[in-house]
Amino acid sequence: MSEVKKNLYEAMFLLPNSRVNAENGSGTAIVNALLEKHHGKPVKVDLWDERKLAYPVKDQKRATYILAHFEAPTDAVQKLMHDVNISEDILRALVLAVPEFPIWRTAAEIDALRPRREPRKREDEWEEPGDRRGGWRDRDEYDTRDMDSGSGS
Amino acid sequence: MAMMSKQMKERRKKKNKFKKFAERLPCKFCAKQKPKVVDGAPAPVATEPEDKRFDPAVGIDYKNLDLLQRMVTGQGKLVSRKRSSGCARHQKAIKYAVKRARFLALMSYTG
């Protein structure tokens, strides 16, 4: 009965760039420390992307995204979110319970998977420029038989 | 009178053309329906989704921004089921994905 039920979680943490440096492994150490504090077992915590935000969050225009896969007891997430809201190291966090971990992909890897279209050909682009310049009059095989017979009778 | 009746017939044809309720398209994200297996026939080939720009390896997820950007209007509103896909399950998945992406400032709430 004393067994604590554990769940799998996928979480995204938003860190301000001012708190991210090489010393804390581009912010992964902050997230790892937070997870371990709440008896979570980090499976994979790594940088997802560093990008411009769609709207400013706490006066930050850019931020670092860290994606974490971890295992934790069921009551840990509530306490974890409490710490996130207090902490100045983390702007925001989204924690989702997942039945199983999805494949770990960075933003660049997801973008690379995107099926791309072939570039559309512009209408004003000429296949062979100069081919038909001057219209049909310049053609060598210009047949005048129709015109002669038409005006005859 | 004969002319009139012809015109009337044409009008009626036009009316039938634009039915009040358009036929529903199949869901873009669902896999194509598998052909019925006849005894002795070879197994059906693996199916792929209707939308060629949708990558099932990534799925409908808040991190799949290329997909989500196509699922909102220029003003950032969710597009209707008519335009996005055909089925309830995937429309709901899109809804949650967009809302999660908005919360993480990956997408904007407004245009």
Tell me what ipTM this predicted complex has: 0.70
- pLDDT of A114 > 90? The answer is no
pTM: 0.69
Of B26, B33, B35, B100, give the one whose Cα is nearest residue B62.
B100
Q: Which residues of A are less than 8 Å from B108 in CB distance?
A: 54-55
pLDDT, average across residues B1-26: 64
For chain A, say whether B111 makes contact (Cβ under 8 Å). Answer: no
CA distances (Å), B89 to each of B21, B27, B59, B85, in order?
A: 22, 10, 13, 10
Query: What does the pLDDT read at residue A152?
Result: 47
- Cβ pair A12, A70 in contact under 8 A: no
For chain B, say whether A58 makes contact (Cβ under 8 Å). Answer: no
- Cβ pair A96, A9 in contact under 8 A: yes
Q: Which residues of B are less than 8 Å from A48 in CB distance?
A: 63
DSSP state of A121: P
E-state strands within chain A: 6-16, 41-57, 60-73, 92-97
Query: What does the pLDDT read at residue A153?
Result: 47
Measured from the Cβ of residue A109, the count of other Cβ atoms closer than 10 Å reads 12
Query: What does the pLDDT read at residue A21?
Result: 78
Q: Is A105 left (phi over 0), alpha (psi -120 to 50) or beta?
A: beta
CB-closest option in A55, A92, A110 to B63: A110
Q: What is the pLDDT of residues A36-53, one digit of tens each?
A: 898 888 898 889 989 999
Q: What is the pLDDT of residues B52-70, one digit of tens each?
A: 566 666 678 888 888 888 8
Q: How far apart are CA A74 and CA A7, in angstroms?
A: 6
- According to DSSP, the β-strands at A41-57 and A6-16 are unpaired
Spatial neighbors of B24 by CB under 8 A, at least 6 apart, are: B86
Instruction: Please give, rounded to a whole number of angstroms, the shortest distance from the CA of B109 to a CA of chain A.
Output: 9
- Cβ pair B60, B90 in contact under 8 A: yes
- Cβ pair B49, B85 in contact under 8 A: no
For chain A, say whether B96 makes contact (Cβ under 8 Å). Answer: no
- Cβ pair A80, A35 in contact under 8 A: yes
Does the beta-carbon distance from B53 to A115 stay under 8 Å? yes
Interface test with B, best of A17, A50, A55 (most B CBs within 10 A): A55
Per-residue confidence band for B89, with pLDDT thresholds at 50, 70 and 90: confident
Most confident of A46-55, A124-133, B2-11: A46-55
Measured from the Cβ of residue B95, the count of other Cβ atoms closer than 10 Å reads 14
Does the beta-carbon distance from B58 to A63 stay under 8 Å? no
Does the beta-carbon distance from B104 to A103 stay under 8 Å? no
For chain B, say whether A14 makes contact (Cβ under 8 Å). Answer: yes
Does the beta-carbon distance from A110 to B105 stay under 8 Å? no
- pLDDT of A94 > 90? The answer is yes
